[in-house]
């Protein structure tokens, strides 16, 4: 097992990784920008190295600085968390070239799944159903031709990225030239690659993803599905597991399909295979080759520490469990809490003047906040994740309402009030929502 792991990230996920390492007897190295000198993971780590000024490009994306920090601290492995360099195949390769273990999949798998067009082709080859779509495009005439074959409406997506950047919905041939130009421009700015592709735009789908775990000995298991349909501008707001939209037969079938595909790929580590679910059918959309923000809800219903398992398989250990060994118990929901205005969604950085987390049976808070901490304006606004578990979905909802009432974050504005409205909404309580529901809910509230 590794003796020392460098955590190449910040915020709640850096603290989450540190905790898993400490429970495994592994020493930690925190890297940080000057803006994060007082961050909780920096204060708790065995060693800390400043790697640059506040700008992420000069710190958390500064590969030479991170490698230098790893070398001077004699680090065995680097855990990238999520975001930043977690799905950067070049970084993964550089880490390996320096004799350090990258806690994640191989560079080849990161590269394959990072190219959405190649990922679609690989998914098809492994027997997964995909949304009707096109190859890579740059020409409007080509795009119109493929759109007519697929059938309007279609959605333009960046082949090199996700997160809503480079996405444009096109409802007619007349809209295609402007939409294509906009999508390519956004894709180029965000990912350095202006290639895009088309997919059939499903009007009322759910976003369903399957958590997988694989070792280097050919063992693969899935840890159930998560419903991530509550989204704003393609960014997830709240997730739950199991999905209220699926029955046991559907989830078993989907889990088996995904496990076979991951085994066929020879994948290593944790990963998430994402689908759109519409009218009883599943369609592969992408695979994330990293730990997900919403991984805690899977941990709550399985009792499996995903970060610990990431570290174990990266060190060459076998999973130690088969699919039959995994038991799914109860229901779990995660609320992503951001330092944003709950109505305008404008960022709200600043000093936390008072901080109190909810507690009790089945309540978990993943956050690096503390009273007096200053939330910097330079990074993603996610500041906490409130996770609750119950034996039933209704018990889980009641517990979530109570926990949200108890949660105090003063000095900055947060999205806690939005989550309080969501858990009181009849559609949400009944599980009757899709990926467009939240934006419609927000528009109606204005």
pLDDT at 138: 85
pLDDT at 371: 97
Active site residue 226: no
Place of tokens 């098809």: 124
Pick the CATH number of 206-445 from 3.30.470.20, 3.90.480.10, 3.40.1280.10, 3.40.50.1370: 3.30.470.20
Q: State residue 161's pLDDT score.
A: 74
pLDDT digits (tens, 9 = 90+) for 322-375: 999 999 999 999 999 999 999 999 999 999 999 999 999 999 999 999 999 999
The tokens describing 268, both together, are 């290593």
* pLDDT digit string, tens, across residues 284-314: 999 999 999 999 999 999 999 999 999 999 9
Point out the catalytic residue in the list 10, 184, 206, 290: 290
Residue 69: its pLDDT value, please?
A: 98
pLDDT of residue 418: 98
For the chain, give every domain's residue range: 4-87, 132-200, 206-445
CATH architecture, domain 4-87: 3-Layer(aba) Sandwich (3.40)
Contact 348, 340 (CB under 8 A): yes
Low-confidence ranges of the chain (pLDDT < 70): 162-163
pLDDT of residue 234: 87
In CATH, which superfamily holds the domain spanning 132-200? ATP-grasp fold, A domain (3.30.1490.20)
Q: Can you give the pLDDT at residue 370? A: 98
């Amino acid at each position: 097992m590794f003796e020392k792991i460098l955590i190449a990230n910040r915020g709640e996920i850096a603290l989450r990784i540190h905790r898993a390492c400490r429970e495994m007897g592994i020493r930690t190295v925190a890297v940080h920008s000057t803006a994060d000198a007082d961050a909780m993971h920096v204060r708790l780590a065995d060693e800390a190295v400043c790697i640059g000024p506040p700008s992420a490009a000069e710190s958390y994306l500064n590969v030479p600085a991170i490698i230098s920090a790893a070398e001077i601290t004699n680090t065995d492995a680097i855990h990238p968390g999520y975001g930043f360099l977690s799905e950067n195949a070049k970084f993964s390769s550089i880490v390996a070239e320096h004799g350090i273990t990258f806690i994640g999949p191989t560079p080849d798998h990161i590269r394959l799944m990072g190219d959405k067009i190649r990922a679609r082709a690989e998914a098809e080859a492994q027997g997964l159903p995909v949304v009707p779509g096109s190859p890579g495009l740059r020409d409007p005439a080509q795009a119109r031709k493929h759109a007519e074959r697929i059938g309007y409406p279609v959605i333009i997506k960046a082949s090199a990225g996700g997160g809503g950047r480079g996405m444009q919905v096109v409802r007619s041939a007349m809209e295609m030239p402007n939409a294509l130009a906009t999508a390519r421009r956004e894709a180029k700015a965000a990912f350095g690659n202006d290639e895009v592709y088309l997919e059939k735009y499903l009007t009322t789908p759910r976003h369903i993803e399957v958590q997988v775990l694989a070792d280097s000995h050919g063992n693969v298991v899935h840890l159930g599905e998560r419903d991530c349909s509550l989204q704003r501008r393609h960014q997830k707001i709240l997730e739950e597991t199991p999905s209220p939209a699926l029955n046991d037969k559907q989830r078993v079938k989907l889990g088996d399909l995904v496990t076979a595909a991951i085994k066929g790929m020879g994948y290593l580590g944790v990963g998430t295979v994402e689908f759109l679910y519409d009218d009883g059918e599943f369609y592969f959309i992408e695979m994330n080759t990293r730990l997900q923000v919403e991984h805690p809800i899977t941990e709550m219903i399985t009792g499996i520490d995903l970060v610990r398992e990431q570290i174990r398989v990266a060190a060459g250990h076998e999973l130690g469990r088969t699919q039959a060994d995994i038991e799914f118990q109860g229901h779990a929901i995660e609320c992503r809490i951001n330092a944003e205005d709950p109505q305008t969604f404008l960022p709200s950085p600043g000093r936390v003047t008072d901080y109190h987390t909810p507690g009790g049976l089945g309540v978990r808070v993943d956050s690096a906040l503390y009273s007096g901490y200053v939330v910097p304006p330079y990074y993603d606004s996610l500041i906490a994740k409130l996770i609750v578990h119950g034996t039933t979905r209704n018990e889980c909802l009641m517990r979530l309402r109570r926990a949200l009432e108890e949660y105090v974050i003063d000095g900055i504005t947060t999205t806690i009030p939005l989550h309080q409205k969501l858990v009181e909404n009849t559609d949400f309580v009944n599980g009757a929502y899709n990926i467009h529901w939240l934006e419609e809910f927000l528009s109606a509230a204005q």
